[in-house]
Amino acid sequence: MEQREEQEFAEYFAARREAVRRMAYMMCGDWHRADDLTQNAFIAVHRRWRKIRDKEALDAYVRRTLTRAVIDDSRRPWRRERAVEELPERSADGVDMDDSVVTRRTLLAGLRMVPPKQRAVLVLRYLEGLDVAGVAEVMKCSEGNVKSQTARGLEALRAALGDSLGDLRSMS
């Protein structure tokens, strides 16, 4: 790669790294895995940097690459985790967390219980703000598939959360 192209990639990486990392975390629920998935997505972009004609579409390309990586990663046998009733980590005694932090943690815990494809659809739709057509494009599937995955994902999320977030019942 030429020096100019390397500089363009470095600028893009610096500008988008944290946003892509957050999206990866929302999809997988683990900061360490999110770092690995983010790195893999940017490696894929770097490999194809010269071939990418439309630099305006880079975010969509990274989103698609990341989504595929999360789904593929979840299929690996060593990544399978067991869901438990209680997490082994506890917050310090007597420390009250802000409601938004509790809500976020509850939501992330619920997302971990949702199957990977449905989780990816929920993250892309509700946390990344993509419409049905945008998610279908990222995941290379039909809009009907996105709608059904969204409905099933929300149902799974509601089941996982139980009554922890009552206001989620109205979300559709």
| Least confident range of 46-60, 87-101, 134-148 | 87-101
Q: Identify the residue with better confidence: 120 or 170.
A: 120
Among 48, 78, 108, identify where a domain stops: 78
Residues 46 and 117 reside in one and the same domain: no
Query: Is the same domain home to 125 and 167?
Result: yes
pLDDT score, position 73: 80
**Are the CB atoms for 54 and 70 separated by under 8 Å?**
no
Residue 31 lies in a domain: yes
- Same domain membership, residue 48 and residue 113: no
**Position 82 confidence tier, pLDDT thresholds 50, 70, 90:** low
- 11 plus 45 within the same structural domain: yes
CA dist 68 → 19, 24, 75, 104, 117 (Å): 17, 11, 11, 24, 9
What local confidence, expressed as pLDDT, does residue 75 receive?
A: 77
pLDDT score for 70? 86
Q: Which residue stretches of 29-52 are H helix?
A: 31-47
DSSP-derived 3-state class of residue 45: helix
Q: Which domain holds residue 165?
A: 97-171
Q: Show Cβ contacts of residue 84 under 8 Å, excluding neighbours closer than 6 positions.
A: none
Model confidence at 59: pLDDT above 80: yes
Flag whether 160 is in a domain: yes
Q: What is the 3-state secondary structure (H, E, C) of 59-90?
A: HHHHHHHHHHHHHHHHHCHHHCCCCCCCCCCC
Question: Cβ neighbours of residue 132 under 8 Å, at least 6 residues apart?
Answer: 125, 143, 146, 147, 150
Give the end of a domain, one of 16, 45, 78: 78
Q: What is the CATH number of the domain that holds 160?
A: 1.10.10.10
Domain count, the chain: 2
10 shares its domain with 41: yes
Q: How far is residue 109's CA from residue 60's CA, in Å, rounded to a whole number?
A: 27
Do both 1 and 70 map to the same domain?
Answer: yes
Contact present, 79 and 129 (Cβ < 8 Å): no
Question: Is pLDDT of 90 > 60?
Answer: no
Question: Is 90 among the domain residues?
Answer: no
Query: Band of the pLDDT at 110, cuts 50, 70, 90?
Result: confident
Does residue 166 carry a pLDDT above 70? Answer: no
